[in-house]
Structure 1
Amino acid sequence: MVMDLLFGPQKPNILGSAVPVLKILCMCGMGSALAHPVINVINPEACKLLSKLVFALFLPSLIFTELGKSVTLGEMKDWWFIPVNVLLSAVIGCGIGYIVALVCRPPPQFFKFTIVMTGIGNTGNLPLAIIGSICHGWNTFGARCNQNGVAYISFAQWVAVIIVYTFVYHMLEPPMEFYELVSEIQPAEEDDPVMEMPQLLEAEWPGVKDAQTEETRTPLLSQMFADSSVGDERQEEEEGVGSPMTVRCLAEPQVVRKMRLVAEKTPLRHILQPPTVASLLAIVVGIFPDLSSILFNQGAPLAFFTDSLTLLSAAMVPCIMLVLGGVLSGGPGRSELGLRTTIGICVTRLLLLPLVGIGVVILADRLGFIPQDNKMFMFVLLLQYTMPSAILSGAMTSLRGFGEREASAVLFWQHIFAVISIAVYIAIYFKILPYI
């Protein structure tokens, strides 16, 4: 009787659609309670340990097992629009983020920061948690709800990671005019506990602070495109006309040289993180049926190994939600971004972009880009527009050494209000999916 009142006989109403988010909120609430100073079970060290386990073990296990079972060469041909949709959502989001930056007028040093935090959404942990919550128990997506949902989300992981480690990395570089100031104050306040990186950023990429170097903190693009002609003249004078470097510069067009330098300074080595490696391995296994039969078929020789990974993967959602609740309990912290810009980013990311996503998915369906009658496929596409900003984008601010507090504050407020916005939009998606 209670289930009928919540969900109705066929499909969920608004309250029923909020249940998956309420489950997530409950787990986050437990994490916040355990992180309270009185209880102090999930202290900062415990958060770091759980984050490392999720990042290096639980999440890769989930991605490999669910994507490896589902993906084949034929499926990859049908799923091509999933990574394209991630790229499309980033382009549209950053375009709208540029308008937000013009309207809200953040401090000049945070103009590109505003674009990135508006345009780049979370395509990993939070969507996986929502899918797991929806598919646990009653759902409208069938018996393979969780397997298909996780597979679709995991199939887009590599694209999202490449976007973050290339485009976002360079967009979030320290502004040239603030570089000297940042360079001077960093060593002096390095041991100050107030200056420590917000835990929320390290929750997505444990150890990101250790990856920071002088090179990652250097504003490469600003140096290259400001007074480039003067720099080239000085370089020629210092090196001499007959030096090998001068010969290469004379033979290489200036634009090509700049593109090469940018590519050389892009930290592509960081792209191969455990979740990305798990996605790529699962795709390789799916391409070769013989490998899949060894790992995933009933009675497969290595079924004990994949079963072990399946058991480990079950810990991903609760652990990441406990960590998220624990780090959010610390509050937003200080920020120089400004109230107007913070509100602009949150409203655009959580309320406006999902409406744009509905239009994009409906258009893609009309053009035949989406497999027929695959509601989970469309639901995952819609989720890619509904999520708050990517925590990994915030972690890039730590790698670049600029804007960490602002990223932590924006992510904090987005995740607080996303509880309401995601619940509302899930209800809308459940209502419109039968008619698309």
Structure 2
Amino acid sequence: MSGIINLLVMASMPIAKVLLLAAIGSFLGLDRVNILGEDARHHLNQVVFYVFNPALLASTLAKTITFESFLTLWFMPVNIFITYLIGSILGWVLIKVTKAPRHLKGLIIGACSAGNLGKLPLIIVPAMCREKGSPFGDVDVCQSYGLAYASLSMALGNFYIWSYTYNIIRISSREIVDVDANHSEVGDETYGKNTEFLLKPADYSLMTPNNKIPMSLKFQQMLSTFSGKINLKPLFSPSTIGVIVGFMIGLIPPLRKLLIGNDAPLHVIEDSAYLLGDAAIPTITLILGANLLLGLKGSIIQFRIVIGIVAIRYILLPLLGILIIRGAIRGGILKCDPLFQFILLLQYAVPPAMNISTMTELFGNGQSEYSVILLWTYGLAAVALTLWSTIFLWLVAS
């Protein structure tokens, strides 16, 4: 019994630190304080996006990732893909069950599938390494590898969210705009413009005598429509560039010898990047606390949708994650140290990603609704993450 209590205390300390910093951010974001007002958050987000996050990713990956360690991390992108797949399926089911409004469908799928895979692990894991009785061994080694694992999780999460979630919300928002535009038009002439054939006039010669379009042409049209809707530019973000730089330095021996270590000729560059990266975690947490204030203003979102998202993220996904990770280990597919195993399990239990809030602001759809979702999910994260972290620690230590 005392062992479980110790694990519970150990798991609660990092969460308490997150809540404390978030509470300070909420206080700074109050209208009467107005230190982290809307404009301040916007500019600070820009600094985090373009400077702190890339520096953190590049410096931690360069310092801890080697070719040997890289080969042992192959399961993480697979694991994140599974979280997105299961979350999307459960989100689709939630939409059908709750009969959610059309303009929220992309938002619901995004909230259920895209978790906070970088920022929270970056805060929780190093803090857990410093706790007395940690099952992860030496503090310095644990913190170093914990930052590397969390940074890789953040990098992969960045890739998935900007390639998958971004385009789901983008396409969903565009469909709503198109529908509104069509409803605003009147007259048969407008109707004819909105229902014109996909084929150009020159393409009618490709039709068969029975007026059916060849399968090859249909496939080309489908690819053209899909490529027109998908936007891959956000993938080449500063964080992605930071990951590429970090991997290049870590995996290429001459670059590693030139930049990494106290005896390296250019170690001042790596030290400066690490110093900048240290500012990312507290800054992100302060912004998180200030953003949660938006949810207090309320929204027209149905409460059953919020309850469904909470149930998916804090009950169904963690339970399925335990079955998947433990099954992979017992089946010999995955062999990993306790710290890496804990990171993989934690990826199933984190709240929705903060970047979705940026996407809703970008497309002007669902800002207030997602603020309410963030308020409830991050408010309940104190209890949910503490309980699940305790269970995960018990699993990896047993």
1:100 matched to 2:94? The reply is yes
* CA offset digits 1:163-204 (Å, max 9, x no partner): 32333233222263653437999xxxxxxxxxxxxxxxxxxx
CA distance in 1, matches of 2:331, 2:44: 43
Residue 239 of structure 2 corresponds to which residue in structure 1? Answer: 275
Task: Tell me if the contact between 1:370 and 1:378 (Cα under 8 Å) persists in the aligned partners.
Answer: no
Amino acid at match of 2:384: S
From 51, 55, 62, give the equivalent of 1:68.
Answer: 62
What is the Cα deviation at residue 410 of structure 1?
1.3
What is the Cα deviation at residue 261 of structure 1?
3.6
Task: Tell me if the contact between 2:159 and 2:240 (Cα under 8 Å) persists in the aligned partners.
Answer: no
Residue 55 of structure 1 corresponds to which residue in structure 2? Answer: 49
From 381, 388, 391, give the equivalent of 2:351.
Answer: 388
CA distance in 2, matches of 1:251, 1:339: 45
From 377, 383, 386, give the equivalent of 1:420.
Answer: 383
Task: Tell me if the contact between 1:59 and 1:275 (Cα under 8 Å) persists in the aligned partners.
Answer: yes
Deviation larger for 345-354 or 126-135? 126-135
Figure out how many residues of one structure are paired with residues of the other and give that number: 378
From 229, 236, 248, give the equivalent of 2:201.
Answer: 236
* CA offset digits 1:117-142 (Å, max 9, x no partner): 21221212122122233234544323
Task: Tell me if the contact between 1:14 and 1:427 (Cα under 8 Å) persists in the aligned partners.
Answer: yes
Residue 16 of structure 1 corresponds to which residue in structure 2? Answer: 10
Task: Tell me if the contact between 2:88 and 2:112 (Cα under 8 Å) persists in the aligned partners.
Answer: yes
Deviation larger for 328-337 or 380-389? 328-337
Task: Tell me if the contact between 2:56 and 2:277 (Cα under 8 Å) persists in the aligned partners.
Answer: yes
Residue 176 of structure 1 corresponds to which residue in structure 2? Answer: 175
Task: Tell me if the contact between 2:14 and 2:123 (Cα under 8 Å) persists in the aligned partners.
Answer: no
CA distance in 2, matches of 1:320, 1:38: 22
Task: Tell me if the contact between 2:28 and 2:34 (Cα under 8 Å) persists in the aligned partners.
Answer: yes
Residue 157 of structure 2 corresponds to which residue in structure 1? Answer: 160
Task: Tell me if the contact between 1:165 and 1:266 (Cα under 8 Å) persists in the aligned partners.
Answer: no
Residue 398 of structure 1 corresponds to which residue in structure 2? Answer: 361
Under a length normalisation based on structure 2, what TM-score does the superposition of the two structures give? 0.86
Residue 126 of structure 1 corresponds to which residue in structure 2? Answer: 120
* CA offset digits 1:208-257 (Å, max 9, x no partner): xxxxxxxxxxxxxxxxxx97xx6224x226x7859xxxxxx989532243
Question: Where do residues 269-308 of structure 1 align in structure 2 (5 Å cutoff)?
Answer: 269-308=233-272
Structure 2: segments with no counterpart, 5+ residues: 185-193, 207-212
Instruction: Decide whether aligned partners of structure 1 residues 160 and 258 sit closer, same or farther in structure 2, where only a CA change above 3 A counts.
Output: farther
Amino acid at match of 1:232: L
CA RMSD, Structure 1 to Structure 2 (Å): 2.9
CA distance in 2, matches of 1:111, 1:153: 30
Instruction: Decide whether aligned partners of structure 1 residues 9 and 389 sit closer, same or farther in structure 2, where only a CA change above 3 A counts.
Output: closer
What is the Cα deviation at residue 352 of structure 1?
2.0
Residue 219 of structure 1 corresponds to which residue in structure 2? Answer: none
From 141, 147, 151, give the equivalent of 1:150.
Answer: 147
Amino acid at match of 1:140: P
Amino acid at match of 1:236: P
CA distance in 2, matches of 1:401, 1:182: 15
Residue 87 of structure 1 corresponds to which residue in structure 2? Answer: 81
CA distance in 1, matches of 2:18, 2:176: 42
CA distance in 2, matches of 1:330, 1:111: 21
Task: Tell me if the contact between 1:11 and 1:140 (Cα under 8 Å) persists in the aligned partners.
Answer: no
Amino acid at match of 2:167: H
CA distance in 2, matches of 1:183, 1:383: 44
Instruction: Decide whether aligned partners of structure 1 residues 255 and 370 sit closer, same or farther in structure 2, where only a CA change above 3 A counts.
Output: same
Instruction: Decide whether aligned partners of structure 1 residues 110 and 289 sit closer, same or farther in structure 2, where only a CA change above 3 A counts.
Output: same
Residue 104 of structure 2 corresponds to which residue in structure 1? Answer: 110
From 113, 135, 140, give the equivalent of 2:135.
Answer: 140
CA distance in 1, matches of 2:63, 2:5: 28
Instruction: Decide whether aligned partners of structure 1 residues 42 and 153 sit closer, same or farther in structure 2, where only a CA change above 3 A counts.
Output: same
Deviation larger for 72-81 or 171-180? 171-180
Instruction: Decide whether aligned partners of structure 1 residues 359 and 81 sit closer, same or farther in structure 2, where only a CA change above 3 A counts.
Output: same
1:360 matched to 2:324? The reply is yes
* CA offset digits 1:10-61 (Å, max 9, x no partner): 9933133201100111111111122223333222222223222222222222
Amino acid at match of 1:45: D
CA distance in 1, matches of 2:285, 2:161: 22
Under a length normalisation based on structure 1, what TM-score does the superposition of the two structures give? 0.79
Amino acid at match of 2:198: D
What is the Cα deviation at residue 395 of structure 1?
2.7
Instruction: Decide whether aligned partners of structure 1 residues 43 and 308 sit closer, same or farther in structure 2, where only a CA change above 3 A counts.
Output: same
Instruction: Decide whether aligned partners of structure 1 residues 71 and 368 sit closer, same or farther in structure 2, where only a CA change above 3 A counts.
Output: farther
What is the Cα deviation at residue 380 of structure 1?
0.7
CA distance in 2, matches of 1:184, 1:154: 46
Instruction: Decide whether aligned partners of structure 1 residues 368 and 289 sit closer, same or farther in structure 2, where only a CA change above 3 A counts.
Output: farther
Identity of aligned residues (%): 27
Query: What secondary structure is seen at the aligned counterpart in 1 of 2:197?
Result: helix
Amino acid at match of 2:258: I
Query: What secondary structure is seen at the aligned counterpart in 2 of 1:381?
Result: helix
Question: Where do residues 322-361 of structure 1 align in structure 2 (5 Å cutoff)?
Answer: 322-361=286-325
From 372, 375, 397, give the equivalent of 1:409.
Answer: 372
What is the Cα deviation at residue 100 of structure 1?
1.9
From 10, 31, 35, give the equivalent of 2:29.
Answer: 35
Amino acid at match of 1:310: Y
Instruction: Decide whether aligned partners of structure 1 residues 112 and 45 sit closer, same or farther in structure 2, where only a CA change above 3 A counts.
Output: closer
CA distance in 1, matches of 2:32, 2:150: 38
What is the Cα deviation at residue 9 of structure 1?
8.4
What is the Cα deviation at residue 362 of structure 1?
0.5
Query: What secondary structure is seen at the aligned counterpart in 2 of 1:431?
Result: helix
Task: Tell me if the contact between 2:167 and 2:231 (Cα under 8 Å) persists in the aligned partners.
Answer: no
Question: Where do residues 188-199 of structure 1 align in structure 2 (5 Å cutoff)?
Answer: none
CA distance in 2, matches of 1:50, 1:33: 16
Amino acid at match of 2:87: G
